[in-house]
Structure 1
């Protein structure tokens, strides 16, 4: 049975391991000092950014990070920024339930849309995403900004 809940302080080590694996998947192997501490503090505060964990048999096997932002063309929208499940949990409905939980949360906050990005070649994830959401065909462009 999969349970989805907000992350508790005791979940920090498992969350950090999964988030590090997620970052490595996207080629971000080295994070700046304090990165995980800062993100964890934001998630625990639950004001600007939010996180949920998926547990199976009491062990965290998936995480999701998300936040609300305004839109120029609608009411607020919910952006799912990070979604990751441990390799052994894949194909068991964990990611689907994490997405559903964020959808429910966003609806309760008055958001009119939930959306996310993934890499075009992330074929495994896209098998699920194509079932639970609509690909609107947008391409993302990015410019790094230096402080």
Structure 2
């Protein structure tokens, strides 16, 4: 298993994984939406970055992340937006390897925290998250402008 930045030849595998992630969360996602995100992660001027994890010659997982300002602490943190591992590759360490890769970026850049959210019923992933991070007491809200 190898964690690395995605390259152009990863597009089909990344597309398959990202579509699986959207399906997992019941989110309607179009090819045009995936085109936009793929463009973001290859644009050095865009805030969104990515890692993929390769196992036995195929992509088995992905994560997208970005820096975010933390005014109250006057620091910069990292937000892990998306994390997905193909169902047949779960339990093999891919998700933890992706989280650790983002944490390494955070250490290199002096980020004060790596933060993410997940669904309350995502029990399998939460077992990993509870082991590698601390659950916060914060409640999340969305407001559509």
Class of the TM-score when normalised by the shorter of the 2 chains: over 0.9
Task: Report whether the alignment pairs 1:7 with 2:6.
Answer: yes
- Report the TM-score, using the length of structure 2 for normalisation: 0.94
**Residue of structure 2 in register with 1:46 after alignment:** 44
RMSD of Structure 2 on Structure 1 (CA): 1.1
Give runs of ≥4 in structure 1 deviating > 6 Å: none
Cα distance in 2 between the residues matched to 1:83 and 1:33: 19
Gaps of 5+ in 1: none
Task: Report whether the alignment pairs 1:80 with 2:87.
Answer: no
**Residue of structure 1 in register with 2:95 after alignment:** 95
Offset of residue 32 of structure 1: 4.7
Offset of residue 103 of structure 1: 0.3
Query: CA deviation digits over 1:20-49, x for unaligned, max 9?
Result: 110111111x32562111100110113310
**Residue of structure 2 in register with 1:69 after alignment:** 68
Gaps of 5+ in 2: none
Offset of residue 139 of structure 1: 1.4
Cα distance in 2 between the residues matched to 1:32 and 1:78: 27
Secondary structure, counterpart of 1:129 in structure 2 = helix
Secondary structure, counterpart of 1:99 in structure 2 = helix
Cα distance in 2 between the residues matched to 1:95 and 1:116: 13
Offset of residue 144 of structure 1: 2.1
Cα distance in 1 between the residues matched to 2:59 and 2:105: 20
Cα distance in 1 between the residues matched to 2:32 and 2:136: 36
Structure 1, 33-42 or 82-91: larger mean CA deviation: 33-42
Secondary structure, counterpart of 1:139 in structure 2 = coil
**Residue of structure 2 in register with 1:35 after alignment:** 33
